[in-house]
Structure 1
Amino acid sequence: MMTAVYSDSGVNDDARRDLLYRGEVFVYAASPATSELVGFARELIEEAFGGRDPETAQHEMPVEEFAGLLADLKPRFIHHPRCKELLPAVLEERGCDPELTYFDVPRLRTSTSHAYLVSGISYAFHPHRDCWYSAPFSQVNWWIPVYEVVAENVMAFHPRYFDRPVRNSSRLYDYAEWNRTSRRTAARHVRSDPRAQPRPEEPVELEPQVRVVPEPGGTLVFSGAQLHSTVPNTSGRTRFSIDFRTVHLGDVREHRGAPNVDAECTGTTLRDFVRCNDLSRVPEDLALEYEARALAGVS
């Protein structure tokens, strides 16, 4: 299929989600709310690097020291209470209904240059769909660069596979088991990463691909069902970015979302999401329903 990229579109959130579920992609310029989020991330990053330029520090530090720094920095950002104030502001600015929109914690991601650190705490993602990792098919992904990015250090979409199945190992993945056994060990894996993660089990044609290069604070929005990957970073600079995910309660209840063409995982990530206006969790009955449907092989 062909993917269209909508730039600073004025469509409302209902229309946007419908287009996202069909494989389209949205990109927005930096805004007051995203600029505040990026500014906060920069404060934490630059404090952690203690005077070094975060984008070039990899050329001055042993990789183990760099990984140890990220192991402290990333959870501090992810769980900082300020993020729970900033993310709802970003979403309301983009027209999301705060009573019906739920978000998960924002991840601070890094992509180092020339394979300096590509495992564990700075994992370089192979081609994958988030739906292979127990995400609901109504999940929407939001990606924001913290510093300037270039085509050589962003992510790539592989749109020909949006409605075309890829043989993969998602049948071996259960989200609850991942949380129990694998998530907390990321920082230990500096030279390699033995954790089993869903991946293609057949060759994937990486071309043609789509790369979007937003400005710092710009926002890339896409479906969790998009096949995407980390571009091998050859820029000479470490890329820092923020990503988080949302679901719309109405879509979750009505099982509206992108098509499931090849996911066979079990479990659900729905318990990770909190509502914009009061931080309440997704109703437990929905999480249980999605777990039961996954076990039964129903998307």
Structure 2
Amino acid sequence: MGTNNTVYVDSDKPDDLRRRHLYDGQIFLFTPTATTTALCDFAAQLIEDAFAPLAPATAQFEMPVERFVEIFAPLKPRYMHHPETRRLLRQVFADFGCDPEQTFFDVPKLRGVTSNDYLTAGVGYAHPPHRDTWWSAPLAQLNWWMPIYGIESENSFAFHPRSWSEGMKNHSEDFNYYEWNAVGRAQAARHTHTDNRKQPHPPANFDPEPQLRFVVPRGGLVVFSSAQLHSTVRNTSGRTRFSTDFRTVNLADLRAGLGAPNIDSQPQGTSLRDFHRASDSSVIPEEVVAAYDHGEHPEGGVLVFAPPSGPSA
């Protein structure tokens, strides 16, 4: 983490100051609000409808992994692209003082991390220690993470604070975001037992200690920089962990070149075209994107990923 190694809980700092602290490696925790709880309730309803009549947290013990993937794979884009999800997200940003004209967000992700190594690939990929910046995220990106049901330390996720200022070999120089959109993301549902998609990763001898884990209530938020090294905790809780996360960038900060320090990220391409303005869903101006678009545009590459079944899935 940064110099102060500070975790802020329910901070009332304005958004511009909060962003500066996040770029410095600090972490913000928030207890549930009416708006985050509403988003949780909506996500939970979609999950429960999909897995009915089984309880989603323990459904993995009642079906083969292939059946779990059949249910969960289409559920992810259904939540991600649902108009109600986006409406609720805008309310969350307003609740936390984000300027709707300057705040841009990508589609929120739905995660299902199963227990006992039931599904660790594809749509249930268990992320090793990583920075989102290895995957072409901008250094000004902020990550917002929220559990949809209650969690424990045994099914949470971890930060690796020593690595905030310590770089490592990660193979991000071999990663091209547009190739990933064309091939890697589209193939997620095909992977149920192993995941051989080309992705950045830490060296085999990386020591993940010390770890810092936060257990927040259902609907609580963990907000952190895309440059924070973090990982999925190996789930030993006996319950599938369902969570949602979404990412924001501030247009004024992008124009000013503000963001976290770049310690070891060298990917090609940028995810900035995935972001839409909170106020009117417009995209980031291309001249701003161009300043962050490094490397090749490979033949067959896809600038903005769309699921095969379309936004209505």
Asked if residue 128 in structure 1 is aligned to residue 154 in structure 2, the reply is no
- Partner residue, 1:247: 249
Aligned partners of 1:6 and 1:205: how far apart in 2?
26
Asked if residue 27 in structure 1 is aligned to residue 55 in structure 2, the reply is no
What letter is aligned with 1:165? G
Q: Percent identity?
A: 51
- Partner residue, 1:8: 10
What letter is aligned with 1:282? I
Give the drift of 1:285: 1.2
**Partner secondary structure for residue 149 of structure 2:** coil
Q: Are the counterparts in 2 of residues 168 and 202 from structure 1 also a CA contact under 8 Å?
A: no
- Written as runs of structure 1 = structure 2, the 5 A alignment for 1:43-122 is 43-122=45-124
Give the drift of 1:202: 5.1
- Partner residue, 1:216: 218
Give the total of aligned pairs.
294
**Partner secondary structure for residue 224 of structure 2:** strand
Give the drift of 1:157: 0.2
Structure 2, unpaired ranges of 5+: 297-313
- Partner residue, 2:177: 175
**CA offsets, 1:91-144, max 9 Å, x none?**
110111111000000111011001000000110000000000000000000001
Give the drift of 1:251: 0.9
| Pairing partner for 2:162 from 160, 163, 169 | 160
Could you state the TM-score of these two structures normalised by the residue count of structure 1?
0.96
Give the drift of 1:3: 2.9
Could you state the TM-score of these two structures normalised by the residue count of structure 2?
0.92
What letter is aligned with 1:31? T
Q: Which runs of 4+ in 1 moved over 6 A?
A: none
- Written as runs of structure 1 = structure 2, the 5 A alignment for 1:201-212 is 201=203, 203-212=205-214
What letter is aligned with 1:235? S
RMSD of aligned Cα (Å): 1.1
Give the drift of 1:84: 1.5
**Partner secondary structure for residue 49 of structure 2:** helix
What letter is aligned with 1:89? Q
What letter is aligned with 1:252? L
**CA offsets, 1:139-181, max 9 Å, x none?**
0000010000000101100010011101110000011111011
Aligned partners of 2:224 and 2:103: how far apart in 1?
16
What letter is aligned with 1:200? P
Aligned partners of 1:184 and 1:262: how far apart in 2?
27
- Partner residue, 1:228: 230
